Amino acid sequence: MTFVLLLAGLTAIRPLRRAGRGGARDLFAGLGFIRRSPVFLAAITLDLFAVLFGGAVALLPIFAKDVLEVGPTGLGMLRAAPALGALVTALIVARGVTWARPGLLLLLVVAGFGLATIGFGLSRNIVLSLACLFLTGAFDSISMVIRDTLAQMITPDHLRGRVAAVEHTFVGFSNELGAFESGATAALFGPIVSVVGGGIGTIVVVLVVALAWPALARIGPLHTLAPAEEPEPVPARS
């Protein structure tokens, strides 16, 4: 109820009306913008492959039963640890934390996510496993804040919805495919190799992205960024 009341106080901004109807070019405009924006492409690539390779959460039942031997109660604690890490980090960031070099921080936290995943895969102690999962949630929370804020800051208004749609499609796809990848590799090589290998793969992705898109590490504070210059799409002729 409080949220609804707060929404009622916001000023409505009506979108500009465009002449004509949209065509096929409009449909893929979000993909086109991401392809032409190396910084955003690097950020979304990091998230896509980090989640793809670092899907340890899908294997928590195996670790709770066969590796850590902590039973259903331990499994519940393991499942809650990443969410707790994300919550604590979100509360800290919400107090107005700013970063001088958010792109570099994004690379570091995704690498930290990979290291924490490796630590969880090698751990045989429930406390250490909980700490590693807590860190995965914390690092993932920071990366999401940076990526989502970056997208909002550099995307032109007329492409914001389409770019967000592409972003969420890729994120949802990587979550589900990552769970499949973790299960498949665990069936072939065992859960420990699956998790540790996924963490190593995440770190390799960070190195590749840092080399392929060096502009990401050089961006300044997020609040100083501005939308890229993108021409309005030409309306389709009727």
User: What are the tens digits of pLDDT across the range 67-119?
Assistant: 898 989 999 999 999 999 999 999 988 887 778 889 899 999 999 999 999 99
pLDDT of 236 = 45
pLDDT mean across residues, the chain: 83
Alpha carbons within 13 angstroms on the beta-carbon side of residue 174 total 19
Enumerate domains of the chain plus CATH numbers.
41-224 (1.20.1250.20)
pLDDT of 15 = 57
Segment among 1-10, 60-69, 223-232 with least mean pLDDT: 223-232
pLDDT of 52 = 79
- Taking the C-alpha atoms of residue 31 and residue 41, their distance in angstroms, rounded to an integer, is 10
- Taking the C-alpha atoms of residue 32 and residue 156, their distance in angstroms, rounded to an integer, is 13
Strand runs labelled E in 97-233 = none
pLDDT of 13 = 64
Alpha carbons within 13 angstroms on the beta-carbon side of residue 80 total 6
pLDDT of 73 = 92
pLDDT in tens, 128-178: 999 999 999 999 899 888 888 888 888 888 788 888 888 778 777 777 888
pLDDT of 133 = 94
pLDDT in tens, 175-229: 788 888 888 888 889 999 999 999 999 999 999 999 999 988 888 887 777 776 5
Contact 238, 21 (CB under 8 A): yes
User: In the structure encoding, which two tokens stand for residue 12, read together?
Assistant: 């409505």
pLDDT of 163 = 82
Which residues face 21 on adjacent strands? 236
Q: Residue 110: which of 146, 150, 78, 154 has the closest Cα? A: 146
Position 235 pLDDT exceeds 50:
no
Q: How many Cβ atoms from other residues are within 10 Å of residue 121's Cβ?
A: 23
DSSP SS3 for 21: strand
pLDDT of 237 = 47
